[in-house]
């Protein structure tokens, strides 16, 4: 996969030299090219921002350098063989659609992504609207809070997407069991020693009984999700739950919602087991 990043702070992306993604880049699984937006300005001060039309606080990123930067990225094309298709443009923004594991999986199937990191009050909206004429564009939010710019969000997106590119994570089994993959949070994990500061690990995990371990993990996952992310339980599909899941969920007060489309669960405090 090729990823082009446009930013006024290329140094943020030095973090992609290390760890799993650094290795993936060395192995050519991931090609990351970082472009300095200021290289596409033509004034002495390399100005990228200006005051907002209509007034208001803060500055807005000027469209001209962005237009030239995106023209340049598009003209370079992705590395490697195959037809040159237009990339998918991702614009981190607190006003974007939520970034989820499902979107990370979708983006991981793309051969070429471009990330456009805005600063200040964001990028002149015409840049995004014009880009939509020549590529698929997603404005994407990391969460309901405001960062100083798109760089940290872009790093998170590259990491979440990059680790899903085949070969980047050595043990692909570890991708299957993690939080958010099946709409649930992952069960807690433990390692040696078996007792630490008088805290033993759950007996079942040292029992060697693989069936019992799988059931314990599934129940722990359901309990943790119900406790901290009831919104995820509401959206679980009862058809994807086995009988033991339904028993565990009922004991936590969650019953399949009668006649709901799409199907889900509803909390009923009278169902909670003592
Ligand atoms: N830029 C500023 N805040 C952001 C957020 N929450 N998500 C993505 N990009 C952002």
Write out pLDDT tens, residues 197-241: 999 999 999 999 999 999 999 999 999 999 999 999 999 999 999
Ligand 1 pocket: which of 99, 149, 154, 156 to mutate (most atoms within 8 A of CB): 149
User: Which of 97, 99, 122, 146 maximizes ligand 1 atoms within 8 Å of its Cβ, making it the mutation to test the pocket?
Assistant: 146
> What separation in Å is there between the alpha carbon of 100 and the centre of ligand 1?
14
2-170: which CATH architecture? 3-Layer(aba) Sandwich (3.40)
CATH 3.40.1280.10 placement within the chain: 2-170
Query: pLDDT tens across 14-51, in order?
Result: 999 999 999 999 999 999 999 999 999 999 999 999 99
Q: What is the pLDDT of residue 74?
A: 92
Ligand 1 atom at minimum distance from 148 CA: 2
Ligand 1: centre distance to CA 74 (Å): 24
- Predicted confidence band at 84 (pLDDT cuts at 50, 70, 90)? low
Note the pLDDT tens digit of each residue in 106-119: 999 999 999 999 98
Three-state secondary structure of the chain: CEEEEEECCHHHHHHHHCHHHHHHHHCCCCEEEEEEHHHHCCCCCCCCEECCCCCCCCCEECHHHHHHHHHHHHHHCCCCCCCCCCCEEEEEEEEEEECCHHHHHHHHCCCEEEEECCECCCECHHHHHHHCCCCEEEEEECCCCCCCECHHHHHHHHHHHHCCCCCCCCCCHHHHCCCCCCCCCCCCCCCCCCEECCEECCHHHHCCCHHHHHHHHHHHHHHHHHHHCHHHHHCCCHHHCCHHHHHHHHHCCEEECCCCCCCCEEECHHHCCC
Cα 33 to middle of ligand 1, angstroms? 21
Nearest CA to ligand 1 atom 10: 93
Say whether pLDDT at 81 is over 70.
no
Say if domain 195-271 classifies as CATH 1.10.1270: yes
> Residues with beta carbon inside 6 Å of ligand 1?
92-94, 141-143, 145-147, 149-150, 153
Question: Where does the chain hold its CATH 1.10.1270 domain(s)?
Answer: 195-271
């Amino acid at each position: 996969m090729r990823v082009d990043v446009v930013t006024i702070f290329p140094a943020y992306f030095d973090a992609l030299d290390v760890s799993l993604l650094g290795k993936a880049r060395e192995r050519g699984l991931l090609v990351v090219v970082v472009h300095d937006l200021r290289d596409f300005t033509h004034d002495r001060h390399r100005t990228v921002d200006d005051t907002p039309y209509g007034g208001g606080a803060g500055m807005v990123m000027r469209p001209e350098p962005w237009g030239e930067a995106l023209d340049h990225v598009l003209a370079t094309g992705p590395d490697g063989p195959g037809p040159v298709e237009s990339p998918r443009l991702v614009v981190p923004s607190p006003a974007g659609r939520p970034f989820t594991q499902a979107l990370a999986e979708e983006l991981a199937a793309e051969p070429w992504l471009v990330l456009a990191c805005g600063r200040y009050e964001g990028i002149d909206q015409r840049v995004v609207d014009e880009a939509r004429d020549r590529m698929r564009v997603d404005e994407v939010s990391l969460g309901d809070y405001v960062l100083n710019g798109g760089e940290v969000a872009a790093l998170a997106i590259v990491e979440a997407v990059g680790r899903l590119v085949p070969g980047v994570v050595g043990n692909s089994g570890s991708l299957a069991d993690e939080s958010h993959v099946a709409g649930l949070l992952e069960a807690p994990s433990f390692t040696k020693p078996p007792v630490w500061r008088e805290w033993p690990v759950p007996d079942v995990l040292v029992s060697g009984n693989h069936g019992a371990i799988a059931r314990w993990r599934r129940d722990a996952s359901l309990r943790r999700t119900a406790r901290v992310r009831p919104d995820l339980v509401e959206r679980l599909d009862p058809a994807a739950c086995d009988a033991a899941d339904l028993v565990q969920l009922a004991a936590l007060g969650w019953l399949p919602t009668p006649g709901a489309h799409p199907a889900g669960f509803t909390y009923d405090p009278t169902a909670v087991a003592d």
